[in-house]
Structure 1
Amino acid sequence: MSLSQPLPLAVALEYDGQGAPRVTAKGHGVVAEKIIETAREHDIAIEQNAALAQALSTVELEDSIPEELYLATAQVIAFVLGLRRRGGPSRP
C-alpha cells in the first residue's frame, strides 16, 4: 500500500481595497502549479495556508469571499502588505 501525497491546491485572490477580496483563480494539481508559477513570474506574494486555501476553494470564481473568511483573509493581506512595505521577498 502506498500513500500518495495530496494534490497541490492554489487559490488566487484580488483585493482592490474596497469591499471583500474576490477569488480570481483556483485549482488542484497542474492547475494549482500553474497558478503558483504565474504568481511567481509576476512577483505576486504567495502565502501557504492549506486550511484557508481549502475553504476559499469552495468560493465560485469572481465571487467575493464569504464573511466567515474575512479574518483569516485579512491576516494574509496584512502579511502581504507588510512584506511590500519592508521591501522583502514576496514569496516564501
Structure 2
Amino acid sequence: MKRPFIQRTLRFDPQQFARLEELAEQQGRSVSDMLRLAIAQYISGQQLLSASDLRHLRVAEYTQVALDAIIREEHPELRDTLVLETDRRMERYHGAR
C-alpha cells in the first residue's frame, strides 16, 4: 500500500520559483517532483556530509595527538612556542580566542 503524501504550502522568491519551473521543464518533471528530488538529495548529502565530517575530525584529532607526542619527545623546547603560534593563528584566521 502506497503511503499518502503530506501536503504543505511553501512560499518562494519569484526568481527562485521561475528558475525551478525552468529546470523542471528542461527535465520533463513537475515542480513538485523537482522539490521532492532536491529535498531527498539534500537529506542524503547531509548524511554523507556528517559521516565525512566525523572522519575529518577523527583524522584531525589523531594528527594532533601524534604531533603532540612527537614534539614532547623530540622537541619539548618548541611546544610552548607552537601553542602560542597556534593560538595567534586561530584568532587571526578564525576569530577564535
TM-score, normalised relative to structure 2: 0.24
Relative to its length, the structure with more helix (as a share) is 2
TM-score, normalised relative to structure 1: 0.25
Relative to its length, the structure with more strand (as a share) is 1
Larger radius of gyration: 2
Higher relative contact order (CA 8 A, sep 6+): 1
